[in-house]
Amino acid sequence: MRTIKQIDIRSFITTSTLPALYSHAYDATQILYDPELKAYFIGCYADVNDVLRSPSFTTTPLGQRAQPVMGERVLAQMDGFEHHSKRKGVLSGLTGHLFREKYSTMITEITESILKRFLPAGEIDLISEFGKEYGVKVTLRVLGLPTERHEEVATWHHGIANFITSLDLTDTERKFSLDCSKRLIQYLTPLIEHKIQHPDESLISAIYGSTPPEQKMTTAELVALVLNILLAATEPADKTLAYLFKHLLEQPELFQRVVNDRSLLTSAINETLRMSSPVQLIPRQAEQGATLPGMKFSSGDLVFCMVGAANRDPSAYHAASEFRIDRRVESHSKHEKISPHLAFGAGPHVCVGAAFSMMQIKLTANLILDHMKDLRLAPDCSFHEDGFYTRGFSTLRLQFSPSTLTLTPSKHPTDAYA
């Protein structure tokens, strides 16, 4: 039997480092419980992997955490045929050769149009000057929506994301989030209605068109799915990019290897997702009979999977706290099994945008490397990180040799795993 160890998760996040919190979770003789939040926190790789794949742990918590700001259920709340067919609809719009071509042109355009403004200065904040605008614009364009009002959309997105990811929402914050949600839904609804009436080449039309006439989504359902994609694609994008460059630039030799051999970017991004998971928590509800080895849950228990912790569990990874892009190669040569990182989740609700996001981050990283020569961390660069549900730098200042924009020098592969 495991003992229950009471812990104040929030005090831990503000007064200590995440690895210090993680280390409590790796003790497989106990299980962490936060009495204030009335939630279990599990961080062992094997446990997290089990919970995410087990039908005894459901996505019910999203009914309170997401639905109020989404207006309707998100993809992760669905199951059975409905889940299968909507997932397929989203996936079909995000993958395939033609879509990759279309999206890569658009991602290149957006990336270069923002980078262009900073190239002559030789300095950029990858979060505040690049990432925020980049994330929102790419997602809007993927959905087939206009980008003119990207600043307002970013504000609304921020309010909604705060509702979904907060562990202690104040009344004022709750009001602000609900207001952001109302405004974003008001803005999106006519645009989405137009796509229902006049289908085009967009992801929204692909999703709406993917279900047979007798099972058409209501406008509110389609709006919620669009909001779901907007949130899930925007929130982790700038965070992942910033972590990637921080990890690479901290090891100049490794950075040079990647500059010279861009095929290494895929492992570098995967190692970034493992070491610094932009989504740290995934909530589940225990149902009747839900167990983990040595632990019986009661039905209705709230369980947070600490995917960021699991991804650094020393029983799943050698030298778990080292950034090593050669893990896969090394373990293959030793005939060892490699634990896939859980940054995209696992099981039936594993991230539907995983392949697309890999393509997106890889392409953008390639463009940054093309345009910014002699890239380095600014000498006074702060590595302050914010958030525990989703986590990222509040700022990341980079320096490079000043230049002006020359057109995309080389065409980069758009295959997610190329």
Under the rule (CB under 6 A), what is the footprint of ligand 2IO? 62, 66, 74, 76, 164-165, 228, 231-232, 235, 279, 282, 390
Minimum Å gap between C-beta 351 and ligand 2IO is 7
Minimum Å gap between C-beta 387 and ligand 2IO is 10
Give the C-alpha separation, 336 to 330, whole Å: 9
Q: Which is nearer to ligand 2IO, 388 or 400 (CB)?
A: 388
Minimum Å gap between C-beta 399 and ligand 2IO is 30
CA distances from 10 to 66, 282, 376 (A): 21, 16, 33
Phi-psi region of 297 (alpha: psi -120 to 50; beta: other; left: phi over 0): beta
Minimum Å gap between C-beta 389 and ligand 2IO is 7
Q: Give the closest residue to 201 by CA, choosing from 148, 150, 143.
A: 143
Here the tokens at position 260 are 């010279």
Q: Which is nearer to ligand 2IO, 158 or 182 (CB)?
A: 158
Here the tokens at position 8 are 């104040």
Q: Which is nearer to ligand 2IO, 228 or 311 (CB)?
A: 228
Give the C-alpha separation, 59 to 348, whole Å: 11
Minimum Å gap between C-beta 376 and ligand 2IO is 30
**N-terminal to C-terminal alpha carbon distance within the chain:** 46
DSSP state of 391: -
Locate tokens 């062992």: which residue? 44
Q: Which residues of 219-257 are buried (b: 16+ CB within 10 A; e: fewer)?
A: bebbbbbbbbbbbbbbbbbbbbbbbbbbbbbeeeebbee
Give the C-alpha separation, 240 to 291, whole Å: 33
Q: Which is nearer to ligand 2IO, 64 or 263 (CB)?
A: 64
Q: Which is nearer to ligand 2IO, 331 or 394 (CB)?
A: 394
CA distances from 62 to 43, 67, 102, 189, 227 (A): 20, 6, 33, 22, 14
Minimum Å gap between C-beta 94 and ligand 2IO is 13
* 397 close to 380: Cβ distance less than 8 angstroms: yes
Minimum Å gap between C-beta 209 and ligand 2IO is 21
Q: Which is nearer to ligand 2IO, 66 or 416 (CB)?
A: 66
Minimum Å gap between C-beta 156 and ligand 2IO is 14
Give the C-alpha separation, 176 to 247, whole Å: 35
Q: Which is nearer to ligand 2IO, 144 or 392 (CB)?
A: 392
Neighbours of 86 (CB within 10 A): 22
Q: Which is nearer to ligand 2IO, 52 or 268 (CB)?
A: 52
